[in-house]
Chain A
Amino acid sequence: MTRAAAGVPRCAPRGKRGAVATSGFAYHRPTTLREAWRLLAEHPGAALLAGGTDLLVRIRARELQPSAVVSLRSIPELAGAAAERGGGLRLGAATPVADLLRRATVVRRYPLLAQALRVMASPQIRNVATLGGNLCNASPCADTAPPLLAYEARVELRSARGRRELPLEEFFRGPGTTARRASEILTAVRLPAPPPGARVLFHKQRRVHLDLALASVAVLLRLQGTTCRRARLAAGSVGPTPLRLRAVERFLEGRILTEEVAVEAGRLAATAVSPITDLRSTADWRRRIVEVRVRRALVELAGLERAGGAP
């Protein structure tokens, strides 16, 4: 179904001079990917709409003036979650955040992602905002990115010409830019099976409860006794893209987790990020938050605070 509508309603032509109409955009709501690809080809510069919580704000602020908007909200294969062979999970890119939070597979098996989704925006926004939209918007502060990086998620991109898959880490190219080509649609996020027995913690540093992350940290640990067998860490809002903290992971894996190790990991994390000063916070403070929050997460996940006095 394609329906041309005015995003900005056009008023009745009754002006005496009536030379210039208000600008608007054509709105299309395809029901198949094939149709969506065709529309993208026909309308170079068309904007893709999933939840619209970022796109419509930018159009209203006139930061974007697309000639056409192609909605992905009525394409069945972009919605929902499905178990994959090997214990993984495939999440449709246009699935709303609130929908994901209602799925036991997401909440139980990927608790780090669920922790991040729960503190993302407001309930009203979570009802419409989608996972794929959050990733394609490519904000360094995207709440879904750090946990997905920690789970080593991959993204699936499809166009009329074919299908390709990238690690999420390679998808982000800079603030607001991704590896997605104009002809492609992000169709799914694929999560590998979660490491058994993983302990996780997501921390979002906010000014008030309803806020964008000033800095965020996602930590996933698998311990054997007190030895760290696997560490996956990622951080948001502290670099041009969400960052995977590989240096910290390498440092932790194989080590016995002690207070000293946690302190050192925090320091390493702080050197691995490259925050900026903007109106929300300072580079210096963001770096401090990464250091403190990584250390505290490790202390908490390893149960070190019970061993008498924390670092």
Chain B
Amino acid sequence: MTARRHIGKATPRPDGPDKAAGRALYIHDLARPGMLYGKVKFSEHAHARIRSIDTAAAERVRGVRAVLTARNTPELRFGFLRDNLVLKRDKVRQFRDEVAAVAAVDPEAAAEAVDRIRVEYEPLAGVFTPEEALRDGAPLVHEADPQGRPRRDNRVPLRFHHESGDLAAAERASRHVVEGTFSTPRIQQGCMGTAGCIAEFDRRGHLTIWAKTQIPFLAQRDFTRFLADLGLGERDVRVIVPTLGGAFGSGLDTHAYEYLAILLAWKAGRAVKIVYTREEEFACLSPRQCTVTRIAQGCDAEGRLTFRRVDVLQDNGAYTSWGATYPSVMMVPVTSLYRVPAVHFDAQIVYTNNTYCQAMRGYGNPEVNWAIESNLDDLAHAAGIDPLEVRLRNCNEPGEVTPMGLKVGTCGLRECLERTAARLDWPARRAGPSKPVAGVGTGKRRGLGLASLCHVGGSGRIYRSDASGVVLRLDDFGFVHAHYGGVEMGQGLHSVLTLAVAEALGVRPEKVIVGPTDTAHCPWDVGTHASRGAFMACTAVLRAADELRRRIFELARAAYPAEAEAALARHRRRDPEYRPPDFDVAEAARSGTFELQDGFLFLREAPPEPWLRVELARFLRAVHFREGGEMLSAESFVDPPTQLPDFERGFGNLSAAYAYGTQGAEVEVDEETGEVRVLRLVAVHDVGAVLNPQTLAGQMYGALAQGLGYALYEEVLSERGRILNPDFRDYKLPTAHELGMPIELEFVEPDEPAGPFGAKGVGESGLVPTAPAIANAIHDAVGVRLYDLPLRPERVLEALRKRRV
């Protein structure tokens, strides 16, 4: 393999300048001629029958063009289990339920009209925790399923289960067993760009929707079906994805506001834009699920794991999104993080009258990792073995097949653990008891902790197709236009896409132009999720670039000599004294080997004369502008060698590669106030080959910030279904200040054979083990085990008080 020219080199991202200068166009910036503004009327109860809806006053507001309720709209279902209605008909099941929608000539008129809609409710008793919802005789969130069959309880009809090994025997044979119950909160994706869309029909009745989505093609399918359900028959739906201000999983589903924009646009005959305010984003967009995980792990006298039992209770909220399938990913770490011979996993997903939840970065992994890695530290303490040592003794190895049937290719976990420990000076620091910190007030102790993860790193098949495609089109000027169906949402996809095209084709990165994501121009793509964007984009690019090179070299046999002669002529005009070497260009072109590098076409055997390096642009024009001319493009479509697991049995090789990593933290705990200061974060991740170090660092820093937020600050608070902190005033994300500690990143780079250029997916890994690493460090510092995220100081202080009793 020749040395890489672009892949692996720190390169600024192509979308950076426009974003930094405020020139990038987000949904908030877009407008269409004659566009109306839509606004949604949300429920004022967590659970209630709708007695009546009076829209008369709303319709009289000046500038209002359409008012929709279930009374003047057919029943339209959507969602992963189609258990959600675009407009609620008989009852509301959560505070944010959509009961009406308005379109008006400006946002103020729309807001005024929504305010004037009067809805009469008959409040119903609700259920607000999974435990409450599972009780006999609990009020039913859904009395019937989408097919109209009566439902008897609040269980969501999705089953995720895994059993392997002889659990009972393994449990009996264990020398040490430690149990615990761990919880994680609802958190918000916290996108800087709030949710929104513009829907517009043309006069033929075809729909274009500018949508904030990570799944343009699955969304296209949802909207197409919706238009058919609406009675419009077969309509073309075009989904265009504008610049996204973050998505983090919030774009993995289609949302009621999108269907409402479509309905309003149809009704009013004008484009309709709905953009959520920050408060709506918090209160009316789905957050990450909250979970309760019961876990037990056992080991023998040497600290080798004997079994792992994990039962997850997941609060679904009132409706079901893709995110309900978190347990499909939870299975990966539960069965396959460290070597465990016997595993039990079960997940119960329960309807409640809370806000319904959806996907977020990590997709179930951080939730169970919190339990596994916290509990594993306790097991190590019970066995009297250093937590690092326990992890090394159970470390995953390359080439192993895990109880879930995951076929591990490369695995750098051992190196991740060792390098993290070395950076933390682990052996020396962990030897003695944690030392109090001298200084004002005292009461402060320091400690070290670490935690690891494994995650899908080679896409993840959770849908019938796991495919992506790319179109590469060469223009007359040597630019390569790449059309990829996946979504740049801030993670740096276009950066690696650019480098991959430059590397694989042999052009300069500046000559690569990534087109907008648009279902009308891009090949089908299942979506940008499961850390698959870069992995799939690069895989698809490699294939398409290969085809382009093959065609260029084929054409070059006949077309290259004339271009080289022309170049020689130009060279001689500049330098009349020049004597070319004795080299038969025509003969070499017939039998030699062509190469394309940095946008120049040449023969490998040729002497290094500049005129023998033909500019790609000239060559392309030569083969275009002639009789029987040709323009070059190539399309590839790749469905990776992944399996759609049998989730009820918990078996199947979900991904083509697996990513690993270890994170370490040093913390200082104030024993008088419970405050936790993270003094240092270390993150060593097995990412396969690094594609762009700059983008990768950005991904990791961002993920660590989210991991830190999950660990210490973030929580969507609610009281009987009502969200109490729908704003940044009381929903606290870490600021630059909280991230002021040294953050050390290191990468372990095994050459992953399944990955493009040897790379694995890394979009999610960085936030998975941060919380348990911090909690384990707190335990090291002050000797208390914490079970509930976030680790607010009030909670830490409470645990410290109990320790003293």
Contacts and interface: CB of A to CB of B under 8 A. Distances in A.
Contacts of B442: 309-311
Contacts of B673: 285, 288-289, 292
A243 to B, nearest CB: 20
B222 interface: no
B26 to A, nearest CB: 20
B441 A9 contact: no
A150 B738 CA distance: 30
Given A207-B713, A281-B794, A285-B793, A292 B63 contact: no
Nearest to B709: A208
B439 interface: yes
Interface stretch (B53-61, B287-295, B451-459, B548-556): B53-61
Question: Binding site of A, secondary structure by majority: helix, strand, loop or mixed?
Answer: loop
B109 A22 contact: yes
Interface string A273-311: 000000111101100110010011001100001000111
B167 interface: no
A75 B441 CA distance: 47
A161 interface: no
Contacts of A284: 794
Given A208-B737, A209-B737, A281-B794, A22 B62 contact: yes
Contacts of A300: 440
A282 B794 contact: yes
A23 interface: yes
Q: Interface residues of A toward B: which range?
A: 35 or more
Interface in A175-228: 207-212
Nearest to A282: B794
Interface in A5-22: 8-9, 11-15, 17-22
Contact of A20 (B61, B108, B737): B61
Interface string B545-574: 000000000000000000000000000000
B441 A17 contact: no
Contacts of B797: 285, 288
A209 B674 contact: no
Contacts of A207: 713, 732, 792
A14 B713 contact: no
B108 A285 contact: no
A126 B93 CA distance: 42
B85 interface: no
Contacts of A209: 735-738
A284 B105 CA distance: 51
Interface in B782-805: 792-794, 797
Nearest to A15: B62
Interface in B438-491: 439-442
Contacts of A295: 441
B62 A212 contact: no
Contacts of A289: 673
Contacts of A102: none
A285 B717 contact: no
B306 to A, nearest CB: 41
B122 interface: no
A9 B104 CA distance: 14
Given A22-B108, A285-B793, A288-B797, A11 B730 contact: no
A62 interface: yes
A11 B111 CA distance: 13
Contact of A14 (B57, B63, B793): B63
Nearest to B715: A279
A61 interface: yes
A17 B108 contact: no
Given A285-B793, A288-B797, A292-B673, A299 B440 contact: yes
Given A8-B108, A208-B735, A285-B794, A296 B441 contact: yes
B441 A292 contact: yes
B440 A279 contact: no
Contacts of B734: 208
A300 B440 CA distance: 7
A285 B279 CA distance: 28
B56 to A, nearest CB: 10
B63 A15 contact: yes
B204 interface: no
Contacts of B738: 208-209
Interface string B87-123: 0000000000000000011101101100110000000
B62 A210 contact: no
Interface in A248-287: 279-282, 284-285
Contacts of B674: 285
Contacts of A292: 441, 672-673
A20 B730 contact: no
A310 B59 CA distance: 69
B725 interface: yes
A309 B441 CA distance: 9
Contacts of B60: 17, 19-20
B732 A11 contact: no
Contact of B732 (A8, A62, A211, A288): A211
B732 A20 contact: no
Given A208-B735, A292-B672, A21 B440 contact: no
Given A22-B62, A210-B735, A285-B674, A9 B106 contact: yes
A98 to B, nearest CB: 19
B733 interface: yes
7 contacts: A12-B105, A15-B64, A21-B61, A207-B732, A208-B734, A292-B441, A309-B442
Closest 3 A/B residue pairs (Cβ): A209-B737, A15-B62, A296-B441
Interface of A: 8-9, 11-15, 17-23, 61-62, 207-212, 279-282, 284-285, 288-289, 292, 295-296, 299-300, 305, 309-311
Given A279-B717, A279-B730, 20 more contacts: A8-B108, A9-B106, A11-B62, A20-B62, A22-B111, A23-B112, A208-B732, A208-B735, A209-B736, A210-B735, A212-B729, A279-B724, A279-B725, A292-B441, A292-B672, A292-B673, A299-B440, A300-B440, A305-B440, A311-B442
